[in-house]
Structure 1
Amino acid sequence: MLTFSQKVMLSDGWSRRLIAFFSGAVGVLALAPIGFFPAFFVPMTAAVWLIDGSAGENRWASLRRAAAAGWWLGFGYFVAGLWWLGVAFLAEADRFAWALPLGVLGLPAGLAFFTALGFALARLLWSPGAARVFALAAGLTVAEWLRGHILTGFPWNDFGMALGDNPLFAQFASVGGLYSLTVLSVLLFAAPALLGKGGRGRKAVALSLAGFVALALFGAARLQGKVETVKGVKLRVVQANVANDEFRADRRSELLDRYLKLSDRSTSPQTTGLTDVTHVFWSESVFPFLLAQDPAALSAIAARMQTAILFTGAARAEIEARRPHYFNSLAVIQKGEIKEWFDKMHLTPFGEYMPLAGALARLGLSPFAWSPGTFDAGEYSRVLTAPGLPAVFPLICYESIFPEEVAARLSDLNARPGLILNVTNDGWFGVTSGPYQHLSQARLRAIEQGLPMVRSANTGVSAIIDPYGRLLASTSLGTEAVLDGSLPKALPATFYSQHWRLAPAIAWLIVLAAALIRPRNI
């Protein structure tokens, strides 16, 4: 009688495709908001067996069969993990509902080609025994790295997040970053595929379990560290929960008044309003108008925030002879005066600009996000400064999901900041898993860099996060809320923050060497 693994290896046609698809879909249970990391054993174990069963009459046939299995597994993973993108198409259903399949099925279908590539690369390195697990780790890590970089990159739900969403396992990101977690995720979760191969298989699984234990012990030891707070700083994060259909120019006064009233809300006997806080944080996309060109709005802010300093998302414009340039920006406002700006550098495709704009415009597609015109990308990284705060490193919206971009921008600065500020508007995605996934990935940047993070999200999840990635305070998704707290101090620079190129490369080279050396005695 055939074993289950043999049935998977020998599967063909639609049975093989469905096994791959549903294996990938199950793996999403390891991600936020569920975070059941053992679920990731399913896709990685299935991946080994599917590639085992990819042998064909020649090498090209084997590669093609492996790539097809990888595409179906990736398609299942991305459909289950990114289905919530469809909510954005329904926010203005009269304009975008017809294109919903493009987001729910089209994008996952495209992303699945990276998983197909990973399977094909693994098949090139394939051999009997434990070495094939190292081959899978080498192939899929290359594919995930490429997914995070090609066509501006989209590393959302990288396979490394199967470990990165767990507070204990995620601590290793301070050493190796997300892509080292990708190597480890594939390697450790694929090990059960080796069972049934005699003593070698049991030994490999035992080593995998030892790897999980080692990661957990490292994480537990690191989380014993205590974090002091910055004296004299009292933070207030405002989550206004403004629905997309409320974000209109004809409601400008109502929206501003809503933010100001929330900012001045009494939350405790010790914090009765703005007089008891030092710094206030509003989300991305607060104003359906150009704040710098609205003296009345700035005066209203000055009248309410006499002592507190405001950080807020706001579109801004630069007028040149040929055309105006618009930016999705973050402003620092003190006493009604805009002191500093940061312009978003990594714009969101389809949200803030349209790839192949001419062709897509003919199909009736335009950017989802409000803007006075087409957004331009900011040209350089910088920190924002405000009295009482250490230097603030700004990230707008999904800039927070790019580990190497964040690391590169930080390394370009003259001095290390003391705080990451992430402002975002995830209201496009409703009360779904999307905003939780965004929070999980942003939190990993705090762990990688050893920096605290303040996160202000229009509809949630807003949070104050310590440099170990712990949520010191957070809001519920889809609610109006005010969050008060102290600012944790930054940790000394992590290994990853200093060696962000080297650390993941070392991890990948180790598994590549193991795949090539083929250690059958494991």
Structure 2
Amino acid sequence: MERLANRVMLLWGIRRAGLAILAGAIGALALPPFSFLAALFVSFTLLVWLMDGCAEAPGSGRMARWRSTFLLGWLFGFGYFVAGLWWLGNALLVEADEFAWALPLAILGLPAFLALYYGLATWLAGLLWSDGFGRIAALAASFGLIEWLRGLLFTGFPWNAIGYGVMPVPIMMQSTAAIGIFGVSTLAVFVLSAPALIGTRKGAPIGLALAGLMIAAHFGYGAYRLSERPTAHRLDPPVTVRVVQPVIDQARKMDTGDDRRAVFEEHLALTALPPKPGTRRPDIVIWPETSVPFILTETPGALARIADVLEDGQILIAGVVRMEARGAGQEPLYYNSIYAIDSQGQIIAATDKVHLTPFGEYLPFERFWNRLGISNIVDMPGGFTAGTRPALITLPSGASFYPLICYEAIFPNELTADAGRAAALLNITNDAWFGRTPGPYQHFLQARLRAVETGLTLIRGANSGVSAVIDGHGQIKEGLDFDQKGVIDSTLGGDVVPSWDIYARETHFWLLIITMFLIAGVSRMGLKIRLN
């Protein structure tokens, strides 16, 4: 292994760049639907050895080393994000005649931008690089910090943070309840990089021992938390929820005329299906994001038709487009929203999506892009308008659900204090835009982790999948795979599994980052003393 490490460190030029891109791309195999965890060990072991090749050498200038470490991280990130996000281009093919030209921007442009974050991570790690186990602590702290920044800057896009690749099963998901996804990413990079120490020998005993302790703690805490029972039940009596997965092709939803009415009727037909023998009828029916393919309040008879299908006391919670009229001569505002509708056809609760998807639901710097002839993927005059803050969907029975509309489920630090009062999380989405690609499975995992972090049941309704009811341990109680048309009927008691709150998770994360940087700093100082 030492010989292999030396060969990697000594690579130069196009071979070095190619291996950096390949290392990043290999790492993406750890993401759903492949979940091949070993790929990340290969990926980060190669990255450490490549970083060793950028290490300080006699005669090399500081700026040259900075450029080298930044470029290395950018190439690694470019490979990782192209391999992990290529499926975004599928959304542009729904209306290929209008948006196919933008495929290179989606498949290569966005990864090129996101790779800048990983370039910053390796540059920062390079400032504290040493020849012992401290260098993998530097890499871990830098990646953890940069992943946190990626979830924050420019409205944030923490999709496929490194930590998601090391949580394929529930026992490996529980640590996120204590340190959050960015804390898991930090520890993951340390452990994933540890095999590199075998090839360079220095610091291997301590580094590998620490990595082993982290793995043991990760599994140990996972086993402990899975053994914990719910401490509260917020639905008394329990309610039966039906999740409708209609599998409607996105092109049909965007057509005008009779096909939209047919889409509406398909949702109603699944809503009206009788329960399985021996089970209760649903109290609440969930439709996915933008399931109603027209403005519900502007379509005569639509609410009455819903009332015809719902039985007395049943409530429909549906993803809709809400229109808000403005003054004369002004375009109305449109919101990506959720309505709760009772069996009389009355809207009894509503909430709007707060964190909109850039270029999908709104255009950043809209005037600039419009001058270039570029518009939103979702055809809505002026795009969607963001809601002011997420509001609990509270039903007449007193049951409350915390809404996460589509993209909002990927932001772990945006759940407000209201989530602590909810009986369950409710995530509705429409991943039909992306077809049968890794996208819907990656989205599902990220939503699933929000259940683990909060300890709340997650009800997930997706147009084409993956729909599921997930408990506060991240375990799937009932589910429908992608492109599987049907319904899920599940009885909920509003169980709450013990979990740290968001402030505790953030505190633990920052303590972890500081500790890793201290280890890296002490190791770096020791190297300088030896060199002097």
Q: What's the TM-score, normalizing by structure 1?
A: 0.94
CA distance in 1, matches of 2:390, 2:244: 25
- Aligned partner of residue 495 in structure 2, secondary structure: coil
Cα shift at 1:369: 2.4
Partners in 2 of 1:234 and 1:483 — Cα distance?
10
Aligned partner of 2:36: which letter?
A: F
Q: Determine whether 1:185 maps to 2:214.
A: no
The alpha-carbon distance between structure 1 residues 110 and 488, as it changes in their structure 2 partners (threshold 3 A), is farther
Please list the CA deviations of residues 241-265 of structure 1 after superposition, one character each: whole Å capped at 9, or x if unmatched: 1111111331232111110101112
Q: Distance in 2 between matches of 1:427 and 1:244?
A: 6
SS at match of 1:67: helix
Pairing of 1:36-435 with structure 2 (within 5 A): 36-55=36-55, 57-198=60-201, 200-227=203-230, 230=235, 231-247=237-253, 248-250=255-257, 251-266=259-274, 268-271=276-279, 276-306=281-311, 307-321=313-327, 322-335=330-343, 336-371=345-380, 373-388=382-397, 390-406=399-415, 409=416, 411=417, 413=418, 416-435=421-440
| C-alpha distance in structure 1 between counterparts of 2:493 and 2:198, whole Å | 46
TM, length-normalised to structure 2: 0.92
AA of the residue aligned to 1:426 = D
Distance 1:111 1:430 in 2: 23
Residue 503 of structure 1 aligns with which residue? 508
Who is 1:29 aligned against? 29
Q: Which moved more, 1:197-206 or 1:247-256?
A: 197-206
2:392 maps to a residue whose letter is: V
**Cα contact 2:472–2:497 (8 A) shared by 1:** no
SS at match of 1:420: strand
**1:57-112, CA deviations, whole angstroms, 9 ceiling, x for partnerless residues?**
12211111011111111000000100111111111111111111110111111100
Matches of 2:380 and 2:365 in 1, distance apart? 18
SS at match of 1:223: helix
Q: Which amino acid aligns with 1:405?
A: E
Q: Which runs of 5+ in 2 are unaligned?
A: 528-532
Q: Secondary structure at the match of 1:438?
A: helix
Q: Describe the SS at the equivalent of 1:98.
A: helix
How well do the aligned residues superpose, as a CA RMSD in angstroms?
Answer: 2.0
Match of 1:4 in 2: 4
Q: How far apart are the structure 2 equivalents of 1:198 and 1:99?
A: 47
Deviations 1:483-522 (A, max 9, x none): 111125332552243424312111111111111122979x
Q: Which residue of 488, 491, 502 maps to 1:486? A: 491
Structure 1 residue 209 displacement after superposition: 2.6
Cα deviations by residue, 1:211-235 (Å, 9 ceiling, x for unpaired):
2122112112211234587443111
Tell me how far apart the structure 1 counterparts of residues 382 and 350 of structure 2 sit (CA, whole Å): 19
Q: Following the alignment from structure 2 to structure 1, what is the Cα–Cα distance between the partners of residues 376 and 435?
A: 18
Q: Secondary structure in 1 aligned to 2:212?
A: helix
Query: 2:409 touches 2:447 (CA, 8 Å); kept in 1?
Result: yes
Tell me the amino acid that sits aligned with residue 485 of structure 1: S
1:259/1:417 Cα in 2 relative to 1: closer, same or farther (>3 Å)?
same
1:417 Cα deviation (Å)? 1.3
**Which residue number in structure 1 is paired with residue 17 of structure 2?**
17
Contact 2:5/2:200 (8 A) holds in 1: no
Counterparts of 1:447-462 in structure 2 under 5 Å? 447-462=452-467
Q: Summarize the Cα distance change of 1:232–1:146 in structure 2 as closer, same or farther, 3 Å threshold.
A: closer
Shift of 1:290: 1.2
The equivalent residue for 2:482 is 477
What's the CA shift string for 1:240-295, capped at 9, x where partnerless? 11111111331232111110101112352135xxx811000000011222112224
Structure 1: where are the runs of 5+ without partners? none
Q: Distance in 2 between matches of 1:471 and 1:47?
A: 35
Query: Which is further off, 245-254 or 25-34?
Result: 245-254
CA distance in 2, matches of 1:2, 1:447: 40
Number of residues paired by the alignment?
514
Instruction: Name whichever of 246-255 and 323-332 sits farther off.
Output: 246-255
Report how far residue 207 of structure 1 moved: 2.8
- Check whether the contact 1:70–1:118 (CA below 8 A) recurs between aligned residues: yes
- How far is 1:197 from its partner? 4.2
1:96 is paired with a residue whose SS is helix
Amino acid in the other structure paired with 2:291: V
Note the C-alpha offset of 1:184: 0.8
Q: Distance in 2 between matches of 1:518 and 1:414?
A: 42
1:361-415 per-residue CA deviation (whole Å, 9 max, x = no partner) reads: 3444322225365211001222111144632100100100011112xx2x2x396
Q: Which residue of 2 aligns with 1:517?
A: 522
Contact conserved, 2:4 with 2:199, CA < 8 A, in 1?
Answer: no
